[in-house]
Amino acid sequence: MKFSTDIWVAALIRRVELGGGFAVVVHKGDARAGSVLVKVVNRSSGQVRLFAEATRADGETVWMRPSRAEKEVDLDAYITRARRIDPDLWVVEIEDREGRHFLTEDLEED
């Protein structure tokens, strides 16, 4: 059973806090079925990454990097475009000094 988006986001934020990071919902989407973008920022190294929720052909939820941009301004522009297309989209920003994303689902790297 898949959790509603608002519960999933709350659990992610709690994992981040327990791990010593900081997370905030930048934009709330549909509470039940909104997609999620997770922006991870490591201020000490300057590394910024973006993760998007996706569904594989087998129906399993995975995370992927929809943009390989390395500048925060470029990722913010991607997020702005994505929100225009999908107003139900959630955006969560995580700041962690180790750059951890705290996602527990599979991550697909290319």
How many other CB atoms are found less than 10 A from the CB of residue 95? 15
pLDDT at position 80, please?
97
Confidence of residue 1 (pLDDT cuts 50, 70, 90): very low
Confidence of residue 110 (pLDDT cuts 50, 70, 90): low
The tokens of 43 are what?
A: 């201020």
Count of domains observed in the chain: 1
pLDDT tens profile 49-96:
999 988 888 888 899 999 999 899 999 999 999 999 999 999 999 999
The tokens of 100 are what?
A: 């951890």
Q: Residue 29's domain is classified under what CATH number? A: 3.40.1530.20
pTM (global) more than 0.85: yes
- DSSP state letter for 66: S
Q: Which domain holds residue 16?
A: 5-108
Tell me the β-bridge partners of 92: 25, 38
Distance CA 19, CA 104 (A): 13
pLDDT tens profile 25-46:
999 999 998 899 999 999 889 9
Pick left, alpha or beta for residue 98 (phi over 0 → left; psi -120 to 50 → alpha; otherwise beta).
Answer: alpha
Pairing of strands 90-95, 22-27: antiparallel
pLDDT at position 27, please?
96
pLDDT at position 59, please?
85
pLDDT at position 28, please?
96
Which 3 state secondary structure label does DSSP give 62? Answer: strand
Mean pLDDT of the region 99-106: 92
DSSP per-residue string spanning 20-57: T-EEEEEE---TTT--EEEEEEETTTTEEEEEEEEE-T
